[in-house]
Amino acid sequence: MNNFVGSIPDNFSKSNSLQSLHLNNNQFEGWLPLSLTHCKQLEILDVGANKINDKFPNWLEGLPELQVLILRDNEFYGAIHSSDTKHPFPMLRIFDVANNNFRGSLPTTYIKEFKGMMNVDFVSAKLDYLGNRYQSYYQESVMVTLKGVDLELVKILTTFTTIDFSNNMLAGEIPHVIGELHSLKGLNLSHNKITGPIPQSIANLTNLEWLDLSSNILMGEIPLVLANLNFLEVLNLSLNQLVGEIPRGKQFDTFSQDSFEGNLGLCGFQLSKACNHDERKLPQPTSSSNDKFGFGWKPVALGYGCGMVFGILMGQVAFLTGKPKELVRIFQARPKKQAKRTRKGAHPN
């Protein structure tokens, strides 16, 4: 965090005892020095947030003690591929290459060999931090993206593991072997060109706390088994091409719409979008021929009722006045008058 410029000196001596090297947040340019391979005791290398323009330094994979490699926010380019090292990066716990120009597929060879991210016993592991065994007065710290937020880890737990490939141009599918990194706490593959389905094997990452696969070209359904990730606090699958119903239960019931938006084929209560099998079609009213003319059974019933009441009333009036014959004569006379008017107005043939 200074204003150092130029290139990093390439004169690290053989058999040196350097354990951590922090050159981050400066203005270094050029290449990483090859003489870093002399640093056999190096545990932490942080050159993040500079202007380094270089290919991926696969010659670092032979450092036996390297646990933290941070190359983020630079101008690295090309593919991330292994050399001929038999067991590359055997102790690596933090691998952060975010915000560069890397291309090609995800490095399956490396993922298979990340022994430091496999089978860590969190129950029996004692609370320890990187650097404590050498200098108790010095605390290691690095900048990482933790659960979607850039934070400084003032202390680095030896059980803390994360992979960040975000904001590059990586393509291809997510390798199934990633499910073997059982100790992984965070995985960020966002803002790349990754295709294919979300592998079921991610459900094996039972210690995962945040998962960001957003802004890719992922397809298919969200595996139901991901709902078994009990420690998952942050999930972002937005802006992909996922389809089907979002899993329910456990942690998935706590994720908001932001975790899934931008996938037009997804449905579920998180998006307030019902899936096809949940939609209930309301019964449609049956229509008769009379309904087409606006004449149904309700007007008929109403007219019948009124006529009945009128008839009863007229009957009572006739009996009370004692002139039923007069009443009958009145009703008999009306149709004749109506008929006469009809004949008068009829058109002659």
pLDDT digits (tens, 9 = 90+) for 25-40: 999 999 999 999 999 9
Average pLDDT over residues 163-192: 96
C-alpha–C-alpha distance, residues 213 and 285, integer Å: 47
Write the DSSP symbol of residue 129. Answer: B
**Summary mean pLDDT of the chain:** 80
What is the per-residue pLDDT for 160?
77
**What are the structural domain ranges in the chain?**
5-278, 290-345
Of 154 and 211, the one with more pLDDT: 211
Average pLDDT over residues 36-61: 96
Q: Which CATH class is domain 5-278?
A: alpha beta
Q: Where are the alpha helices (DSSP H) in the chain?
A: 108-113, 297-321, 324-345
pLDDT category, 295, cuts 50, 70, 90?
very low
- CA 149, chain centre distance (Å): 16
List the structure tokens of 180: 């073997």
Which residue has tokens 């007219």? 303
What is the per-residue pLDDT for 281?
40
How many CB atoms sit inside 10 A of residue 337's CB?
Answer: 9
Query: Sheet holding 5-7: strands in order across?
Result: 5-7, 27-30, 51-52
Please answer whether residues 43 and 64 qualify as being in contact, where contact means their C-beta atoms are separated by less than 8 angstroms. no
Q: Are strands 149-153 and 142-146 parallel, antiparallel or unpaired?
A: antiparallel
Please answer whether residues 209 and 146 qualify as being in contact, where contact means their C-beta atoms are separated by less than 8 angstroms. no
pLDDT digits (tens, 9 = 90+) for 300-327: 455 555 556 555 555 555 555 555 555 5
Answer yes or no: is pLDDT of 258 > 50: yes
What is the per-residue pLDDT for 339?
41
Question: Which of 221, 214, 200, 225 lies closest to 265 in space, CA to CA?
Answer: 221
Please answer whether residues 51 and 75 qualify as being in contact, where contact means their C-beta atoms are separated by less than 8 angstroms. yes
What is the per-residue pLDDT for 318?
52
Q: Where are the alpha helices (DSSP H) in 159-272?
A: none
Answer yes or no: is pLDDT of 6 > 60: yes
Answer yes or no: is pLDDT of 147 > 70: no
What is the per-residue pLDDT for 167?
97
What is the per-residue pLDDT for 345?
45
What is the per-residue pLDDT for 86?
87
Q: What is the pTM of this model?
A: 0.73
Of 268 and 339, the one with more pLDDT: 268
Percent of the chain with pLDDT over 70: 68
Average pLDDT over residues 166-191: 96
pLDDT category, 42, cuts 50, 70, 90?
very high
